[in-house]
Structure 1
Amino acid sequence: MENTAPFEITDEMLASRGQRFVNYTIDIIIQYILYFILIIIVFIVNALLGSTSMPDQWFSGFQGTFFFLVFMTFYYTLFESYFSRSIAKYITKTMVVMEDGSKPDSSIILRRSLCRIIPFEAFSFLGYDARGWHDSLSCTYVVKKEAFERSRALFDSFEEIGKEQIFEH
């Protein structure tokens, strides 16, 4: 008889509140640095082209906030779609997975990234299970990479044992 129990994310695999806070802090610092570099590049290119039509307020006030939110969404979507991790998650050895342990597809990651724009969302991971709204609304989890991979390998090995026994009989 084949084991049909699905793989599940357990509490032991979940990233801690501390890891989540460090992820947020490192990622926001990196985003501001990259965004500042982008602004400098835009101004240099604009100056090289001899254009004076780009007002400074594009990067301040409402427009500046809007552009930064677009940049932030792009940052998370790019990194988490391709690597299941942002730069900070590499440092803290955590990663994003689906409830069944699979890698989220790009549309799920985009939803996850857009949810980060919700006001006060950054504080939502401070709840009981350290899951933020961007996690729960996208049905994703941030897990400790090593604990997750160890559990996943153990689960997969049990699945293989079950398959071998079925084929032998």
Structure 2
Amino acid sequence: MEENTFYITEDVLASKNMRFVNNLIDLIPQYAIMYAISYSFFYIGEFTGNYALNDYWAEISTVEDYFYSYLLLFLYYFIMESTTHRTLGKYATKTMVVMTNGQKPTHKDIAKRSLSRMIPFDALSFLGTNGKGWHDVISNTYVVDIAKFEAIKKSYDELEQIGAHLIKDK
């Protein structure tokens, strides 16, 4: 007998509006961290009288700025999504990241997802026709509405249990 497999369907996907709100909310901690680093370097200089870090930070090149920004972007998404499968934006909209089969992504999947976010204009790629961002497609992940996802998953699991009992009782 062939085993049924659960797959994510369009009806459980997070809406484009939810995805957009996720993006906006997730920018806030990233900017806050960058500003905190900047002010920390300034206050370290004030406290120690050594302004080397502050001077370095104030005079970084565009390439260095992109490097640090993308490093922070990667770390933010990788740490948040690999530990909780959600970011602050996803907590606000009650969404989460899952694989095609409804399972939680591995660290490798999240690393692919986080690295893919460095593609220019990826942050808005989910606004396309299928509602999936490039980072979703590359990592084979989905962002789902938790309430809808759990309801469908529960129904699927209950049907699987019924099927297992029918086969066992034969």
The answer as to 2:148 corresponding to 1:168 is: no
- What CA distance in whole angstroms lies between the structure 2 residues aligned with 1:165 and 1:42? 67
Alignment of 1:27-66 (within 5 A): 27-45=26-44, 47-54=46-53, 55=56, 56-58=58-60, 61-66=62-67
Counterpart of 1:22 in structure 2 is 21
In 1: Cα distance, 2:94 partner to 2:8 partner:
16
Write 1 or 2 for the structure with the bigger share of helix: 2
Over 3 Å counting, the alpha-carbon distance change for 1:91 and 1:50 in structure 2 is: same
Determine the structure 1 residue equivalent to 2:143.
Answer: 142
Structure 1 residue aligned with 2:88: 87
Q: Retained in 2: the 8 A contact 1:57–1:63?
A: no
Q: Percent identity?
A: 40
Unaligned runs of 5+ in 1: none
Deviation at 1:22?
0.8
Q: CA RMSD in A?
A: 1.7
Q: Which residue does 2:156 correspond to in 1?
A: 155
State the 1:49 CA deviation: 4.8
Give the deviation of 1:38 after TM superposition.
2.7
TM-score (norm 1): 0.91
State the SS of the aligned residue for 1:7: coil
Measured against aligned partners, the alpha-carbon deviations of 1:65-89 in whole angstroms (never above 9, x if no partner) come to: 2101100110000110011110000
| TM-score (normalizing by structure 2) | 0.90
Separation in 1, partners of 2:45, 2:95: 39
Please identify, of 136-145 and 154-163, the stretch whose mean Cα deviation from structure 2 is larger. 154-163
Q: Which moved more, 1:146-155 or 1:28-37?
A: 28-37
CA distance in structure 2 between the aligned counterparts of 1:100 and 1:65, rounded to whole angstroms: 35
After superposition, the C-alpha distances for 1:102-148 in whole angstroms (9 at most, x for unaligned) are 00011110110111110111221111121000000000000101100
The alpha-carbon distance between structure 1 residues 46 and 98, as it changes in their structure 2 partners (threshold 3 A), is farther
1:133 maps to what in 2? 134
- Aligned 8 A contact 2:100 2:142 in 1: yes
Letter in 2 for 1:92: T
Partner of 1:13: 12
Question: Mean Cα displacement is larger for which, 98-107 or 36-45?
Answer: 36-45
Change (3 A) 1:49 1:158: farther
Asked if structure 2 preserves the Cα contact closer than 8 Å seen for 1:7 and 1:100, the reply is yes
